[in-house]
């Protein structure tokens, strides 16, 4: 029997609550399948760890994680620890050091999921965001000159390398080709006259190798408007780190909310482990109450199964989530139900088998 080793970083706030449910679901699936199993090793890294040790994870944390098949992460962030430290020293470090340059975020309105758009039906909202995840606006480069003086200047640099831009755009073209979908590139070349002009140029250049793929290019502001007015025009979407971060929260809002939004950080070459996480944060406002929605974390576990080569199990999980939404069974408060986090996870497990 094949055994996968998974590093689990539950993190802060609701992270541990929601991750527990995705572990239950993965264990159940390995039982049902019978050809593979999981070994989960849990690491208590995050803000509490920081408050005890002064670091978000041990100095050799990356070496500890490297041998794993994949990483499951809950959420990171706690009041009292500056977000730029918690995010940068753990999440962004893992994404960067493991060259997880693809951030894959499905934006799909399942039947029964709440949608604030008046006329949208399931099927109208069914896109995949491919967000550049290794450089761009989140490169962390810049300078802070003459602090606390009248001459104070801050510079936040964006970094768009040819290698980094080409590989994310190529990944998107490959997905559009293999799934026979349209590809939309979102940029802002009119205002960002270096980075985004370059992005648009690479999008055209790489596109010459994919004459069979129908493409569209949108400015990010117009794209935000169209996601609300006409979301069905998007299928596969490729965009930069910052734009993808913002637009996928909008995507979550139109497809059931943060409790249903999953994301995968992929190293497509599989040289390093990829990391799977719900896109929501640690939700300190509801942490510890046992009412957080675990379905985003469960959906990210579905993404993990797909990445490991079990698309049928990934589809099965989405099916179960859809059944719960349609039949209004086992849903947490954010989706209008009254189930606890654990009851919601139990419902997934029971409907699976």
Site membership for ligand NAI, residue 277 (CB under 6 A):
yes
Is residue 90 within 8 A of residue 64, CB to CB? The reply is no
- Residue 141, Cβ neighbours under 10 Å: how many? 11
Query: In this chain, which stretch among 150-158, 221-229, 232-240, 279-287 interacts with ligand NAI, using CB under 6 A?
Result: 279-287
Q: Show the tokens assigned to 61.
A: 């944390």
SS3 label, residue 307: helix
Site membership for Mg ion, residue 132 (CB under 5 A):
no
Residue 76, binding choice from ligand NAI, Mg ion, none, Cβ under 5 to 8 Å by partner class: ligand NAI
Query: In this chain, which stretch among 144-152, 160-168, 265-273, 288-296 interacts with ligand NAI, using CB under 6 A?
Result: 288-296
Place of tokens 């200047």: 153
**Among 23, 56, 75, 308, which residue interacts with ligand NAI (rule: CB under 6 A)?**
75
Contact string (CB under 6 A) for ligand NAI, positions 217-256, x = contact? ----------------------------------------
SS3 label, residue 261: coil
Q: Quick one: how many helices (H) and strands (E) in the chain?
A: 12, 12
Query: In this chain, which stretch among 33-41, 50-58, 237-245, 276-284 interacts with ligand NAI, using CB under 6 A?
Result: 276-284
Looking from the CA of 314 toward its CB, the CA atoms found within 13 Å total 15
CB of 251: closest distance to Mg ion in angstroms? 11
**Among 231, 259, 337, 345, which residue interacts with ligand NAI (rule: CB under 6 A)?**
259
Query: In this chain, which stretch among 125-133, 183-191, 203-211, 238-246 interacts with Mg ion, using CB under 5 A?
Result: 238-246
Site membership for ligand NAI, residue 281 (CB under 6 A):
yes
Q: At how many degrees (to 10) do helices 162-179 and 195-207 cross? A: 40
Binding residues for ligand NAI restricted to 305-334, rule: CB under 6 A:
334
Residue 169, binding choice from Mg ion, ligand NAI, none, Cβ under 5 to 8 Å by partner class: none
Site membership for ligand NAI, residue 345 (CB under 6 A):
no
Query: In this chain, which stretch among 106-114, 149-157, 168-176, 290-298 interacts with ligand NAI, using CB under 6 A?
Result: 290-298
**Among 137, 245, 277, 334, which residue interacts with Mg ion (rule: CB under 5 A)?**
245
Is residue 62 within 8 A of residue 83, CB to CB? The reply is no
- Dihedral of CA atoms 144, 146, 151, 155 in degrees, nearest 10, equals -10
CB of 117: closest distance to ligand NAI in angstroms? 19
- Closest CB to Mg ion among residues 69, 132: 132
Distance CA 253, CA 200 (A): 27
Residue 75, binding choice from ligand NAI, Mg ion, none, Cβ under 5 to 8 Å by partner class: ligand NAI
Site membership for ligand NAI, residue 293 (CB under 6 A):
yes
The long-range contacts involving 83-91, CB below 8 angstroms and separated by at least 24 positions, are: 85/50, 85/56, 86/12, 86/46, 86/47, 86/50, 86/56, 88/140, 89/50, 89/55, 89/56, 89/57, 90/9, 90/45, 90/46, 90/56, 90/57
- Closest CB to Mg ion among residues 87, 197: 87
Is residue 91 within 8 A of residue 100, CB to CB? The reply is no
For the chain, the first-to-last Cα distance in angstroms comes to 20
Which residues contact ligand NAI by CB under 6 A? 14, 18, 75-77, 83, 87, 91, 258-259, 277, 280-286, 292-293, 296, 334
Which residues contact Mg ion by CB under 5 A? 245
């Amino acid at each position: 029997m094949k055994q996968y080793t998974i590093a689990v970083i539950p993190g802060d706030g609701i992270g541990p609550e929601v991750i527990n449910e995705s572990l239950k679901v993965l264990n159940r699936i390995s039982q049902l399948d019978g050809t593979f199993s999981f070994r989960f090793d849990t690491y208590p890294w995050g803000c509490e760890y920081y408050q005890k040790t002064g670091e978000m994870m041990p100095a050799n944390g990356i070496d500890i994680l490297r041998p794993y098949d994949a990483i499951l992460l809950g959420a990171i962030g706690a009041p009292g620890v500056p977000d730029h430290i918690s995010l940068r020293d753990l999440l962004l470090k893992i994404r960067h050091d493991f060259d997880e340059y693809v951030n894959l975020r499905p934006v799909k309105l399942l039947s029964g999921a709440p949608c604030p758009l008046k006329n949208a039906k399931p099927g109208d909202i069914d896109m995949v965001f491919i967000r550049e995840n290794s450089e761009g606006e989140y490169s962390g480069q810049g300078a802070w000159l003459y602090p606390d003086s009248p001459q104070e200047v801050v510079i936040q640099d964006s970094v768009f390398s040819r290698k980094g831009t080409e590989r994310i755009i190529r990944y998107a073209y490959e997905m559009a080709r293999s799934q026979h979908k349209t590809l939309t590139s979102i940029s802002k070349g009119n205002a960002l006259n270096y980075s985004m002009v370059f992005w648009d140029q690479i999008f055209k250049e790489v596109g010459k190798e994919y004459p069979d793929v129908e493409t569209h290019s949108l400015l990010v502001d117009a794209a935000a408007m169209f996601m609300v007015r006409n979301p069905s025009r998007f299928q596969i979407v490729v965009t930069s780190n910052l734009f993808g971060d913002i637009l996928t929260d909008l995507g979550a809002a139109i497809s059931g909310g943060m409790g249903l939004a999953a994301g995968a950080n992929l190293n497509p070459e599989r040289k390093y482990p990829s990391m799977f996480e719900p896109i929501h944060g640690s939700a300190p406002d509801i942490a510890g109450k046992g009412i957080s929605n675990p379905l985003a974390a469960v959906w990210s576990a579905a993404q993990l199964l797909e990445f490991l080569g079990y698309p049928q199990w990934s589809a099965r999980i989405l099916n179960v989530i859809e059944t719960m939404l349609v039949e209004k069974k086992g849903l947490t408060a954010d989706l209008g139900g009254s189930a606890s986090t654990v009851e919601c996870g139990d419902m997934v497990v029971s409907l699976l088998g």
